[in-house]
Structure 1
């Protein structure tokens, strides 16, 4: 009887998104004339192709064919609009960002899993308050104070790799190293905790983090119902309903959520205990009182107004927010850098010479490391051509007319200088990869990996494009009030690790396997083959004599 009640409740709830979908289809008449690929299914449109693991090439071909503005057919005829026009994206990301907000289902799913409202899921005034309190912890000055932690963990990771190849060249799963380093760094520098990740003592929490993105991808079709369910159904009843549904990815996600929330709760309780004992106890923990959570606690306690402080629940939610935002994205990008260096031995050697010269007097300190031109060029070019998050998805609240830097031609052959985007939940794609690889902006070699492009003045077209991003004339970390707050942290992590690895080791492609990069919520490496879908990236590593 209880199971029947659950089915009836789900059936009733499912009518709501169906009604919203029909209403949206009527409102989307203006998008019918925007060019784009045809759907392959009446039910799913082209979504199975667009979100498929091997979709990156399809995305490139779609933009080459249709340009900066196109639509893709979604669920039951829903139109999803993709935009890579920089003038339009300024409106979306900066000027009218409140009208282009995170998709409710994705945001609510993340909130439920991490157990609270963190920076990734907060909206409006709550988001502005959290970001204001966090900003000092991600400043350049604070990155300087965290530098000893970055150096210590980079040394430990290099030492572990040295032991593994001490007897000769060996193929090593680089993803294992980069993910462990990223997790331990965000633990130490983020909230003054150690998972023992570099030594391999983090299996439970690490496994939960690694499984989050692929499991979330499998739940994509059901996420649309979550905002409605969480508003209508109490939390405990929702959990009971979920346990009754025979859907393996859903049960896997519940285990991931349980692991992440239990771990973050233990860390938070210990953090509060140390704070209650005074500054001396905080300094003696792993982060030495310099970690981001310590800064947040101090800033929160120093706020004179109650509405300027974070609640305990908000502070707790930041722990899982930090690890989700800073682990996979950074580790995958760092793996991409090493893969590219393995494929371009001449770039690897040039970078090695720069790093060896800079370290003649010992470890390279923060300011000197950040001033190395070729290291900066390698990082910038990798983040430009291969952003870890190729697309950012938004939903449109109210109708919007977007001005365009470049007109597009509609299906009737008419040139359009504006794009009308209907509200009511229309899905909007911020085409990060499209902007970063636009030949009209970057030149005919825009799709080539060429670090040297950053060693001389960029084309005038780059400045003229007015890309609304926060990093290096690219859209990699997007822009506006919801840009990635931790991009300096991610850069410092990769630079410090490269400074410890490249002078000591030579990286080469594996002898037999082919490394391919597959699309998920982030772009991840794996070995090409029909049965190998988990993230891995074997490279042949040898000590430099």
Structure 2
């Protein structure tokens, strides 16, 4: 009797499991058919022209690989117009891309469009709930909270730090430039650099240094001091515990998301059950950062509360202190937790150090390729008062006043802007529509059936559609910047074409590098001024020449590498020689 009952129960359980399995399979098939067949048929983007592909073909490399994307964008614009669609994860996945500023302005200013949840999850996993991972009302409140830390007045108080670290870097390079034929690399396994087919070297002592590495150290030190009054001493010795924790974590971010990382977004339990080396490094780095960060936040919070209680002026001017002060002044319901404060610092450290160091590196690289422009810039910098080329943060001159003089140099400003236009640290970004929308266009669109959407009319985009924001493509657009848009020409900034003069971002015209709208980079003034001060400190002392053929690759940021030596990672070697002052 009992075996019979057990058999009956087992049979019933098996049938139940089979039914559940059949339901799951059927539901999966329905979802798959809807995704691959039904949904694409009703997608409005299906009507728009664009490159075609096979069933599972994507166009991600054509869109996001900086080694081919400029030619791809130019080719597609000529073939399909300024606004078109391409394939994401297969022929069924239509995505919008446009170099029509009217389209981009609408998307970047509209609350309908947000960063995809996948992007926000990746950023949160690395840096916590920083400002770049937030959306909606939460993002708006945080922007308001951090605004005082990036005001013009606040940045002025940070200029002594900019000068201090620029001079420290200059002194390092002076030693290198005094060692003829020195080749400075960080890894003995890296092969020697190929001889570049460029102009001959002048007759001065020279060395080959990886400027990307050295600028990274310097900007890390800057953001440590300016951001939260913390001494990394990276320029002197790369051994400080918190610095190494950040750097190890950022090295993982530099590699970009792998297939496993994307799968883990949908199945987070994989990371907990089967942690890999990247997970272990990230977790350990975050532990070190969290412990040090909590101590720092608590000590600064106590100092600020004590100064408020005594009604004395708050002396701390670093970003963390200003952020804590702003946070304590906010309504209790809108205040950030200590963990969220730390997330902002990690976000600022990555965005503020690596993006700025890349801007400086690309600028020196471009100047090395254009010695005439380099000479013009050096002459302008030498036209400042003597302390312009022999400055010292302890020499008694006013750092803010000197910074203001440097900031006002027209050709330096043009060189920096032109570098940021040609080499934006962020190649592009993405948005997703949170509901159906009609997007206005300023350039005609010819649909696949021959219908023309005229300027002033709209195209329809349905909820869930992805939009790629092609920062580089907009910075390279000949319709905006002229026929020489892909050439390094700082003089263009003295007589910009009309399309480039209509500002989308206050103070930056139509330069897309810092984006615009509610999600524009809050630290763009900080980055611009820091870059100018470093260049003003270094260029009067050194002459730069190319040392290798340099290419770009994309991780989270656009980084340099030596052609045919990609496996050795991001590097930007440059010949450096002393200027006879």
**TM-score per shorter chain, which class?**
0.7 to 0.9
8 A contact 1:28–1:79 mirrored in 2: no
**Deviation string, structure 1 residues 365-423 (Cα, Å, up to 9, x no partner):** 12111101110010111112222212121111111111111112222332223453433
CA distance, structure 2, for counterparts of residue 483 and residue 32 of structure 1: 31
Written as runs of structure 1 = structure 2, the 5 A alignment for 1:67-466 is 67-76=81-90, 77-94=92-109, 96=110, 98-114=111-127, 116-167=128-179, 168-202=205-239, 204-205=244-245, 207-219=247-259, 222-223=261-262, 226=265, 228-229=266-267, 239-243=271-275, 251-277=277-303, 289-303=316-330, 305-361=331-387, 363=391, 365-417=402-454, 418-455=457-494, 457-463=495-501
Is the Cα contact below 8 Å between 2:253 and 2:556 reproduced in 1? yes
Check conservation: 2:148, 2:326, Cα contact below 8 A: no
Could you tell me how far 1:516 is from its partner in structure 2?
A: 1.2
1:78 & 1:317 partners in 2: Cα distance? 33
| Number of equivalent positions | 508
Cα displacement (A) at 1:209: 4.6
Tell me if structure 1 keeps the 8 A contact 2:249–2:281: no
In the superposition, the TM-score normalised over structure 2's length comes to: 0.81
Ranges in structure 1 where 5+ consecutive residues have no aligned partner: 1-7, 231-236, 244-249
Question: What TM-score do you get using the length of structure 1 for normalisation?
Answer: 0.86
Deviation at 1:66, TM superposition (A): 3.1
Deviation at 1:147, TM superposition (A): 0.5
1:492 CA displacement: 1.3
The farther-off stretch of 440-449 and 270-279 is: 270-279
* Cα distance per residue 1:492-541 (max 9 Å; x no partner): 1111110111000100011xx31112233321111000554510011000
- 1:356 is displaced (CA, Å) by 1.4
Give 1:470 shift: 6.2
- Deviates most, 152-161 or 321-330: 321-330
Q: Equivalent residue for 1:529?
A: 564
The SS at the match of 1:217 is coil
* Alpha-carbon distance in structure 2 between the residues aligned to 1:17 and 1:118: 34
- Is this contact kept in 1: 2:552–2:559, CA < 8 A? yes
Give a deviation string over 1:322-362, Cα, whole Å, max 9, x none: 12212222111211100000000011111111111214145
Q: Does 1:30 align with 2:44?
A: yes
Q: Judging changes above 3 Å, is the alpha-carbon distance between structure 1 residues 275 and 172 closer, same or farther for their aligned structure 2 residues? A: same
Q: Aligned to 1:120, what secondary structure does the other structure show?
A: helix
* Structure-1 residue corresponding to 2:552: 517
Point out the structure with max Rg over C-alpha.
Answer: 2
**Contact 1:27 1:422 (C-alpha < 8 Å) held by counterparts:** no
**Aligned with 1:390: secondary structure?**
coil
Aligned to 2:196: none
Q: 1:489 aligns with which of 526, 541, 545?
A: 526
Distance 1:188 1:280, change over 3 A: farther
Deviation at 1:49?
Answer: 4.4
Cα distance between partner residues in 1 of 2:579 and 2:220: 27
Instruction: Report the CA distance shift for 1:25/1:242 in structure 2 as closer, same or farther (over 3 A).
Output: farther
- For the 8 Å contact 2:421–2:513, the answer to whether it is kept is yes
d(CA) in 2 for partners of 1:416 and 1:191? 52
- Structure 2: any 5+ residue segments left out of the alignment? 1-20, 180-204, 309-313, 392-398
